[in-house]
Amino acid sequence: MEITEVRVRLVRNRHDRLKAFCSITFDNEFVVRDLKVIEGPDGYFVAMPSRKMGTRCGKCRGKNPVGAKFCNHCGGPLPDSRAGKDFKGRARLHADIAHPTNSKCRMQIQERLVLAYKAELERSKQPGYKLVEIDELDREVPDRMR
């Protein structure tokens, strides 16, 4: 599979670890949105699109985020042991929606997105460049979908 397009949207708060949201197109046919460029202690890395994990309340069966202590529907307490653990023993609060199946593919995606992020960062220094508000990302529709 070939990466045929990368779109980068820088976020406004440059002091936050989240630096940009990206979309990546494979073979001019398949798009993955909401990849994130994050600044970590060892440099930039790419986080895959994910969703918050949910759990059901034992009392009302309402769906709640795994990290919640009380039910959003009935207000009842939720048990502490409902979250699965990752390989480091931390609670899994998110699940990937899309992800590479091997490290070679992950590195290819990460290298391409970080290069595109750095190029967009340089373009952002031009007059009139507008950083995106995170809320604006939800309203965007790709050109090819209009």
SS3 state of residue 9:
strand
Claim to verify: residue 20 and residue 78 sit in the same structural domain = no
Put simply, whether the predicted model's pTM sits higher than 0.85 gets the answer no
Query: 132, 10 in Cβ contact below 8 A?
Result: yes
Claim to verify: residue 101 and residue 137 sit in the same structural domain = yes
Q: What is the structure's pLDDT at 83? A: 63
Q: What is the CATH number of the domain that holds 22?
A: 3.30.1120.40
SS3 state of residue 27:
coil
Q: What is the structure's pLDDT at 96? A: 84
Each residue of 56-104: pLDDT tens digit? 888 899 988 887 889 999 999 988 766 666 667 666 777 888 989 999 9
Short-list 89, 100, 18, 95, CA closest to 51: 95
Tokens of 121: 């960062």
Question: Could you tell me the residue range of the domain that residue 64 belongs to?
Answer: 51-95
- On the question of pLDDT at 23 being above 50, the answer is yes
Residue in this structure with the two tokens 């909401």, named with its chain if needed: 34
Q: State whether the Cα torsion 33-39-42-43 is positive or negative.
A: positive
Mean pLDDT, the chain, integer? 84
- On the question of pLDDT at 7 being above 90, the answer is yes
Number of domains in the chain: 2
Each residue of 117-136: pLDDT tens digit? 999 999 998 888 877 665 55
Q: What is the structure's pLDDT at 86? A: 67
Claim to verify: residue 78 and residue 139 sit in the same structural domain = no
